[in-house]
Amino acid sequence: MKKAIYPGSFDPITYGHIDIINRASHYFDEVTVIVMNNKAKSPLFSAEERVKILQNVTKDFPNVKVDSFDGLLINYAKEKDIHISIRGLRAVTDFEYELQIAQTNYELSNGELDTMFLTTSLEYAYLSSSSVKEIASFHGDISKCVPPEVEKLVYEKFDRLDASLLQNSPNA
C-alpha cells in the first residue's frame, strides 16, 4: 500500500492546499494530512479546530485521513511506517525553505523519509494562509481563497478577536 503524509500548518486550509491533497490522493493509496503544531507560530485556529476543519473539507476524499502531531515529522513517519512526505511548491521563493526541510528530514531519518514536491496549479499560485488571514482581518473578500465553510469560520474568528480587543481596550 502506497502511503504518504502531507504536513503543514493549514491555518487555515486554502484551495491551494486542497488542490495538492486532491492530486496526491490520485498517486497514493492513502494520504494523511497532518496538522503540525509549530510552537514558534501563534495560530489563528487551534490544532483541534484545524483538524476538524480539514476533516470536514476532505470528507469526500475516501483515501485521505487527517491527524495532528506535536513533534518532529520524522518521528510521526517512523511510528506510522510512512516514507514519503508531500509538500507544495508555489514559486521559487518556496524552494530554498522547502529544499532545506526536505534534506533535513532525509538526513535525520537516515534516508527513511523522502519528500515529493507537487507544483501548485497556476490558479492557486498566489494563495497563502497568511495572506488569507491578512485579507480577512480587514474584512476583505476571501471567497476565492477558501471554501465557504472555512470562510465563515475565519470571519467568525476575526469578529471574536475584534470584540475581545474592544472589550479590553482602555477606552471601552
Which residues are known catalytic residues? 17, 41, 90, 129
Amino acid in position 170: P
Q: 9 vs 105, which CB is nearer to ligand ADP? A: 9
> Phi-psi category of 81—alpha, beta or left, where left has phi over 0 and alpha has psi -120 to 50?
left
Q: 91 vs 163, which CB is nearer to ligand ADP? A: 91
CB 28, CB 84: distance < 8 Å: yes
CB 11, CB 129: distance < 8 Å: yes
> What strand order describes the sheet that includes 64-69?
64-69, 30-36, 3-8, 84-89, 114-119
The Cα–Cα gap between 115 and 12 comes to: 23
Binding residues for ligand ADP, rule CB under 6 A, total 16
Q: Which stretch binds ligand ADP (CB under 6 A): 8-16, 26-34, 65-73, 158-166?
A: 8-16
Which one of 23, 90, 144, 157 is in contact with ligand ADP (CB under 6 A)?
90
What does the per-residue mask of binding to ligand ADP show for 44-83, with x meaning CB under 6 A? Answer: ----------------------------------------
Residues that bind ligand ADP (CB under 6 A): 8-10, 14, 16-17, 20, 87-88, 90, 94, 120, 124, 127-129
